[in-house]
Each structure stands twice: as structure tokens, then as C-alpha cells.
Amino acid sequence: MAILIPWAGVLVAGDYLSTAELPTLDNGGDLDAYLATLERLRPLVAAAEHVVPGHGPPLAGEHALTALEQDVAYLQALRDMGAEAEPPDGRRGAHQRRLHAQNLAALEAQN
């Protein structure tokens, strides 16, 4: 769930657009549905001055758009390249590598 508060210029993005974590596909998550959700969020992010993700720090609007683009690129690479895909810059630590491995396992389980 995401909530746009137009008068405040704030988008509360739930579990999306975190610069602290990768998008995750665990619990039966669907990669294409995740990408579709990011595209539905795009105009809301563009309208927001600040985005508050569920994990990580609040983001200025332009930084949230960058996070969205990184998430889209990561998920597309995951779909197209599998294990060869790399998490976005700044999200390649041990925790993110574990999430990446979980994403790969979730994709393999779906196929």
C-alpha cells in the first residue's frame, strides 16, 4: 500500500523504493507484478517532494525516482539474467546479497 499526501508533497511508499533493501520476491512474489506496481507508483513518486519508504531513510523526490529506476533495472536484470544480475550500487552488502539469493530461489521455484 502507498499513500500520497498531496498537500504535504509526501508519498508513504510502504515496502517499496527502499535504498536500504532490494525488492524481494519471497512468499510467492511475482516479478512482473512487482514491476507493474513500480510503474503504477512512478507518477506518484514524480508528484512527491519526499518519499517515505517502509525501510530506510526518507528520500527527496528525485532520489526516490532514482531508487525506482534502480529497482526496475534490478528486477529486469533478475528476470533476464538470473544469477548474473547484480543488485544496484549501494545495495550490495551482506544483507542485500542474502535478499538477492532469496530472489533467485523464488524465481527458480516459480519455474
Average pLDDT, the chain: 94
Q: Could you tell me which residue, 7 or 108, shows the higher pLDDT?
A: 7
The predicted model scores a pTM of 0.93
Strand order in the sheet with 10-12: 3-5, 10-12, 50-52, 59-60
Give SS3 for 25: coil
pLDDT tops 80 at residue 44 = yes
Q: Could you tell me which residue, 39 or 107, shows the higher pLDDT?
A: 39
